[in-house]
Amino acid sequence: MQERRWGATVVVVFATLAWTAMGAKLSRCTALPRDGGDGVGCLSWRVAVETGNLRGWRTVPRRCVRYVERYMVGGEYQRELEAVVEQIYRYMEGVVVSGDDRDAWVLDVDDTCLSNLRYYQGKRFGGEPFDPTGFRRWAERRACPAIPPMLRLVRDLVKKGFKVFLLTGRDSESLGRTTAENLHTQGFVGYERLVMRGAEYRGKSAAVFKTEARRQLVREGYRIWGNVGDQWTDLLGDHPGDRTFKLPNPMYFVP
Amino acid sequence: MQERRWGATVVVVFATLAWTAMGAKLSRCTALPRDGGDGVGCLSWRVAVETGNLRGWRTVPRRCVRYVERYMVGGEYQRELEAVVEQIYRYMEGVVVSGDDRDAWVLDVDDTCLSNLRYYQGKRFGGEPFDPTGFRRWAERRACPAIPPMLRLVRDLVKKGFKVFLLTGRDSESLGRTTAENLHTQGFVGYERLVMRGAEYRGKSAAVFKTEARRQLVREGYRIWGNVGDQWTDLLGDHPGDRTFKLPNPMYFVP
């Protein structure tokens, strides 16, 4: 297996030709629209975002801004989010809750429990770079609406006996009270704990902070069954949970 | 946070109405085509598969068979796969290889290095359930073509000094020689090791087998930088690698 062959380049070229020819030969139908009509490859871009293959991006590519807008407000986002929640229910209904109060779920807050869609509408749906001051001002208004399928899920998780942990990268000191009040007003009650970013994690990756927070839960004896977030940084790292669920969000990437 | 309110149901109903109204209010454009024209929600179904939200499915839903065929052979699959490989290169080029021969990559084989598209064409692109005998017969023909962007990647990884491990759920005893020959014929040379499923992992989940195999690599002192596969069972579990990359595959799910 260690040998190298002078002809390997030829093999690559040949394989590329065969691959292209296979595509052409198998194709008995017109090509799929790549992005709903505007921009090039925006659907592929979105799938790359949703699978976590594409990371560290700062804004929606200019050619895809209209595409993302249509996705977010044309009904597709809501339908796709509802489809994920349906999968969450299927899984959740199969979990047997033990009586020891240690069966836990972890849920992110922004664009998982609470929607920032209205805010991002003013930011060209992610076409503009993240504006920390603007976002803090928006969050301080306590006006983020609940995402209804997620509100229903939280209530049903609590009803079923799970301990629900809301784990957010929002800064505890500046947005702690605001966030708790916003959640309360929107009907998020009965959850176990709101875990926010402390001063020691300022400037660190959300994945690092969230991994540590989950490690702490596991140390306390919790079994994390499900973990739901709109960012891969919610779901990656140690103790991700027995099942992770990625909610759609093509508007921004949280490092 | 622990209180329950009698009005919570009212809040859910209100939030649902607000959510629906928001969608309607924000919508200034026609809805996206949901699936390229045939079937209902097939794009959402595919995104659910690609994000790992949907697991344990046995066949492509009947309504989405034509959609998956068009995706696979209409050019979209190839473009999307190439876009993932582009992301892999961007990441790979930023990794500094140390001189100790312990910088590793892990790659799956089926529909990651070698393509089974021709085989699945005869199985209605996943519209029929997995046929172990049929698949073994196909694999024994040693006729799986390379996926060219992945062949190029393997060659470039080796050239850059990474140790490349090909990790496959194929059974070592029955398909060991066949698979090694198929890889060789297709130009996959210079990789470090082909790791196949041993008898002790027969009937176990690919995630379990692959996690153990990666644990062994880490025990040997390897640092897994990248991990590439078309199945989430390639990428989940312990020691997933510094970055994981999910290649598209809407044709089948490996448990």
- Residue-by-residue DSSP string for chain A: -----TTHHHHHHHHHHHHHHHHHHH--SPPPPSSTTSSSSHHHHHHHHHHT-S-S--S--GGGHHHHHHHHHSSHHHHHHHHHHHHHHHHHHTPPPPTTS-EEEEE--BTTTB--HHHHHTTGGGTS---HHHHHHHHHTT-PPB-HHHHHHHHHHHHHTPEEEEEEEEEHHHHHHHHHHHHHHTT--S-SEEEEE-GGGTTS-HHHHHHHHHHHHHHTT-EEEEEEESSGGGT-SS---SEEEE----S----
Whether residue A79 is contained in a domain is answered as: yes
Which chain A residues contact residue B72 at CB under 8 A?
Answer: 26
Measured between CA atoms, the residue of chain A closest to residue B150 is A12
B27 CB-contact burial (10 Å; exposed 0-12 / middle 13-18 / buried 19+): middle
Nearest Cα neighbor of B224 from B194, B244, B197, B195 is B244
Q: What integer pLDDT is reported at residue B37 of this predicted model?
A: 44
Lowest mean pLDDT among A62-76, A137-151, B29-43: B29-43
Measured between CA atoms, the residue of chain A closest to residue B55 is A87
Measured between CA atoms, the residue of chain A closest to residue B159 is A4
Which chain A residues contact residue B244 at CB under 8 A?
Answer: 52
B179 CB-contact burial (10 Å; exposed 0-12 / middle 13-18 / buried 19+): buried
A85 CB-contact burial (10 Å; exposed 0-12 / middle 13-18 / buried 19+): buried
Q: What integer pLDDT is reported at residue B41 of this predicted model?
A: 85
Rounded to whole angstroms, the Cα distance separating A134 from A128 reads 12
**Test the A interface: residue of B2, B28, B53, B119 with most A CBs within 10 Å:** B53
Whether residue B174 is contained in a domain is answered as: yes
| Closest Cβ opposite residue B31 in set A76, A155, A192 | A76
Measured between CA atoms, the residue of chain A closest to residue B120 is A26
Whether residue A26 is contained in a domain is answered as: no
Q: What is the DSSP string of B49-77?
A: HHHT-S-S--S--GGGHHHHHHHHHSSHH
CB contact under 8 A, A1 and B194: yes
Q: What integer pLDDT is reported at residue B99 of this predicted model?
A: 87
Q: What is the pLDDT along chain B (255 residues), one digit of tens a residue?
A: 444 555 656 656 665 666 656 545 544 333 334 444 444 589 989 999 999 999 999 999 999 999 999 999 999 999 999 999 999 999 999 999 998 999 999 999 999 999 999 999 999 999 999 999 999 999 999 999 999 999 999 999 999 999 999 999 999 999 999 999 999 999 999 999 999 999 999 999 999 999 999 999 999 999 999 999 999 999 998 899 999 999 999 999 999
Per-residue DSSP letter, B4: -
CB contact under 8 A, B80 and A5: no
**Domain containing residue A113:** 42-246
Which chain A residues contact residue B33 at CB under 8 A?
Answer: 33, 36
Whether residue A189 is contained in a domain is answered as: yes
Whether residue B27 is contained in a domain is answered as: no
Whether residue B36 is contained in a domain is answered as: no
Rounded to whole angstroms, the Cα distance separating A228 from A109 reads 9
Percent share of chain A, pLDDT over 70:
84
Distance linking the first and last C-alpha atoms of chain B: 39
User: Does residue A193 contact residue A239 with C-beta atoms inside 8 Å?
Assistant: no
Tell me: pLDDT of A3 over 70: no
Rounded to whole angstroms, the Cα distance separating A182 from A141 reads 8
CB contact under 8 A, B78 and A155: no
Between A220 and A26, the more confident residue is A220
Measured between CA atoms, the residue of chain B closest to residue A50 is B51
Which chain B residues contact residue A248 at CB under 8 A?
Answer: 47
**CA distance to A32, A79, A143, A169, per residue, from A69 (Å):** 20, 15, 21, 25
Q: What is the CATH number of the domain that holds B68?
A: 3.40.50.1000
| Closest Cβ opposite residue A73 in set B23, B72, B244 | B23
* Minimal CA separation from B199 to chain A, in Å: 23
| pLDDT (mean) for A36-42 | 59
**Test the B interface: residue of A47, A66, A228 with most B CBs within 10 Å:** A47
CB contact under 8 A, A83 and B44: yes
User: Does residue A231 contact residue A108 with C-beta atoms inside 8 Å?
Assistant: yes
| Domains identified in chain B, total number | 1
Beta-strand relationship, A223-229 and A193-197: unpaired
Reported as a pLDDT band with limits 50, 70 and 90, residue A41 is: confident
Tell me: pLDDT of A211 over 80: yes
Tell me: pLDDT of A46 over 80: yes
**Test the B interface: residue of A2, A32, A116 with most B CBs within 10 Å:** A32
Which chain B residues contact residue A190 at CB under 8 A?
Answer: 1-4
Count of CA atoms in the C-beta half-sphere (13 A) of B121:
16
* Minimal CA separation from A7 to chain B, in Å: 9
| The token pair that represents A89 in the structure block | 């229910």
Whether residue A219 is contained in a domain is answered as: yes
Whether residue A252 is contained in a domain is answered as: no
User: Does residue A184 contact residue A142 with C-beta atoms inside 8 Å?
Assistant: no
Which chain B residues contact residue A15 at CB under 8 A?
Answer: 145-148, 151, 186-187
CB contact under 8 A, A189 and B8: yes
Q: What integer pLDDT is reported at residue B1 of this predicted model?
A: 43
Measured between CA atoms, the residue of chain B closest to residue A238 is B238
Rounded to whole angstroms, the Cα distance separating A205 from A210 reads 9
CB contact under 8 A, A193 and B117: no
| Closest Cβ opposite residue B47 in set A19, A50, A55 | A50
CB contact under 8 A, B32 and A245: no
CB–CB contacts below 8 A, A to B: 214
